[in-house]
Structure 1
Amino acid sequence: MHKLAHILRLGLKELTSLRHDSVLLLFLLYAFTVAIYMPAAGSVIGVHNASVAMVDEDHSPMSRQLAQVLRPPEFQPPVPLPYGQLDEVLDSGRYTFVINIPANFQADLLGGHQPAVQVNVDATAMSQAFMGAGYIGRIFQRELLTYSGQGDAASQTPVLLTTRALFNTNLEGGWFLAVIQIVNNITILAIILTGTALLREREHGTLDHLLVLPLTALEIMLAKVWSNMLVVVLCTWVSLEVIVKGALGVPLAGSMSFFLLVTAVYLFASTALGIFLATLARSTPQFGLLAIPVIIPMLLLSGGSTPLDSMPQWLQWVMQGSPSTHFVSLSAAILFRDAGIGVVWPDLLALSAIGLLFFTIALMRFRKSLAS
């Protein structure tokens, strides 16, 4: 009971210290509000409102029809453009797509020839260029086949494919991005909060005061873990309810309590990692530099930014040792697919095992740093 009382009081001390740290409080507020809403609401994965210009050298009903089939929200209404300005607007990046319809286009099409339509793409607009070019090609092909009377014949395919999008029927990229931003911010804050808390005590001499008390390294470390875990879990819950579900309107089908429990398990692993890094650093700036090469791979290679299956096989095996990989998988399964413990238990078991391993290594290193 005395040990539990020590852990409780030390944790309350951590919360009091955080309450007086205005910089970290502002960072927490920003990380779970603005940093979630702006990327999810402003970043669009796919083609949206792409700028189009059209050089019409044919001036036929067919060429005018092609200009009308490019509609919002994927494309802006095509802007008529003289042929002499084609290179200029492409060099200046004014339009993402510039379409050139040659003279006698409709006559050649009705005459059985195969006239060419030139689609110039500004490939520096990477998020829209390649998918947009494919969209334009398919839209024009369907329209030309219909106009030439071949649309019905072309539709007689031996196999009819029906595509159904589960859990996100309109393929809203912001839904997934909002949850991934929360996952990334949890990772960053879990490591930074615990690491800076330990280094702050060392720099201010508070850690030396704790060593003369009847406290063990395990009690000190558990106090830092549960206090920072409580703060991040509460911030995560508020962010999901207010920002993700309220402001962004993302329907989360899964159990919120189950997800917060999984978040606590993940924080157990990531806070232990933060303490381990803090024992290697001698100052807060050194800890920041040391944390960068650890946090960045956890964010970029965990499967949130790039699917894990598209990575090299050896890298997939390496990332299985990162707790963020399993947490990303668990987050998507629980919040979007309403997966229960019977489905996600392998990832949850792996996350718990990694957390215990990180905690044990961090505890050994923390004891060694206290003795030195």
Structure 2
Amino acid sequence: MTALVTHLQNIARLVVKELRSLRADPIMLVLVFYTFSFTVYTVATGVKLEARDLTIGIVDEDHSEFSRALRDAFGPPLFKVSRPIAANEIDAEMDAGRLVFVLEIPPQFQADLLAGRPTSLQLNVDATAMTQAGNGSVYIQQIIAQEIANRQAGRETTSALPINLVVRAQFNPNLESGWFSSVMQILNSVTLLTIILTGAALIREREQGTVEHLLVMPVTPVEIMLAKMTANALVILVAAVASLVLVVEWLLGVPVAGSLLLFVMGTAIYAFSVAALGILLGTLATTMGQFGLLAIPVFVVTQLLSGATTPMESMPVWLQWIMQIFSPTPHFVAFSQGVLYRGAGLGIVWPEIGKIAIIGAAYFAFALARFRKVIFS
């Protein structure tokens, strides 16, 4: 019992040392503040996945009442620009990027439609704007189908469909992409900065030679490593919770459905796991430059294949297994989405927490072996 108390006291003193070292690095503190405040806000408000303010040109070769009604159907807020153009202007307008969509209405379109003869419309899409192209094409098809159904039914406000389809969007009623991107940005920042802070703390001491001072002190490798992980993970945890409450909930008005305490617990376990990864990378690199070059690809792959950007189900099965076995990030994303979006309790998300803890323990064991070999050999 006395030995355990001594270990805890040593870890506590070393944690204070790490926090003082971080306080003496204003650039790192500014980075933490900027990442969890301005970055979260600007990504949530500036990166919109839904279709808004699209530009569309109409090549009307029919000049009928219905073609004019169809042209008037493309208005705000989905479409910022809806204007008639000539057929020979299509390439020039799309090459210059002034129009994302061009709809071509052929001659005799209304007559063929009313007579029941086969007819067609052509929609040209600038697919370099991938998100707008995909979402906007769906909206345009729906608008055209609705206008045709209204015209055939002889009414302007009712559909000829024999059913009444009612759509309920759960957890995000208005389908606001900012609700999704703001929380995902916090999760990405937790991963990135935990790796950077813990790895940089080790590399900084190795470059400055202060790590040798620890070698002559009555502390063990486990205590030193736990102190670095705990101090930096604690800073990230406080910053993440503050960002969630002040930026996401208060400034952006995004509701948090689940328990904040449960999210803090899961984030603490995840930060411990990622901090172990940061220590591991710090033992593989010898300079800060090498560490940065090593950490960037690790973070990019981890973030892109975590399910925070694209669904895990869209990946090959073998890649899903690799990510879920070797990376705690997909489990943290699933945990956070369950708690923050759907209000899931511990009884639902405990498997994800368990997987994060197991992977983190494996990282810790491997990192400790490397830490002893590189620092104390």
Shorter-chain TM-score category? over 0.9
Unpaired runs of 5+ in structure 2?
none
Match of 2:298 in 1: 294
1:119 match: secondary structure: strand
Point out the more displaced range, 106-115 or 140-149: 106-115
- 363, 370, 373: which one pairs with 1:365? 370
1:340-359 alignment to 2 at 5 Å? 340-359=345-364
> Within the alignment, does 1:329 sit opposite 2:315 as a pair?
no
Match of 1:185 in 2: 189
2:102 match: secondary structure: strand
Alpha-carbon distance between aligned partners in 2 of 1:21 and 1:29, rounded to the nearest angstrom:
13
What amino acid is the match of 1:231? V
- Shift, 1:268, TM fit: 0.7
1:1-372 alignment to 2 at 5 Å? 1-149=5-153, 154-156=160-162, 161-321=165-325, 322-372=327-377
Point out the more displaced range, 95-104 or 211-220: 95-104
What amino acid is the match of 1:254? G
1:200 match: secondary structure: helix
8 A Cα contact 2:149 2:159, kept in partner:
no
Alpha-carbon distance between aligned partners in 2 of 1:116 and 1:274, rounded to the nearest angstrom:
58
Alpha-carbon distance between aligned partners in 2 of 1:298 and 1:73, rounded to the nearest angstrom:
36
2:255 match: secondary structure: coil
8 A Cα contact 2:306 2:323, kept in partner:
yes
Unpaired runs of 5+ in structure 1?
none
What amino acid is the match of 1:363? L
- Shift, 1:137, TM fit: 1.6
Alpha-carbon distance between aligned partners in 1 of 2:154 and 2:301, rounded to the nearest angstrom:
51
2:265 match: secondary structure: helix
Identity fraction in percent: 48
**What is the Cα-based RMSD across aligned positions, in Å?**
1.7
What amino acid is the match of 1:96? V
TM-score with structure 2 setting the length: 0.94
Alpha-carbon distance between aligned partners in 1 of 2:106 and 2:294, rounded to the nearest angstrom:
59
Spell out, residue by residue over 1:197-224, the C-alpha distance to the aligned partner (whole angstroms, 9 max, x if none): 0110111111101111111111111111
Spell out, residue by residue over 1:295-335, the C-alpha distance to the aligned partner (whole angstroms, 9 max, x if none): 11110111111111111111111111211111000100011
What amino acid is the match of 1:178? S
Alpha-carbon distance between aligned partners in 1 of 2:9 and 2:153, rounded to the nearest angstrom:
82
- Shift, 1:353, TM fit: 1.1
TM-score with structure 1 setting the length: 0.95
8 A Cα contact 2:55 2:99, kept in partner:
yes
- Shift, 1:39, TM fit: 1.4
Number of aligned pairs?
Answer: 370
2:123 match: secondary structure: strand
Alpha-carbon distance between aligned partners in 1 of 2:298 and 2:257, rounded to the nearest angstrom:
32
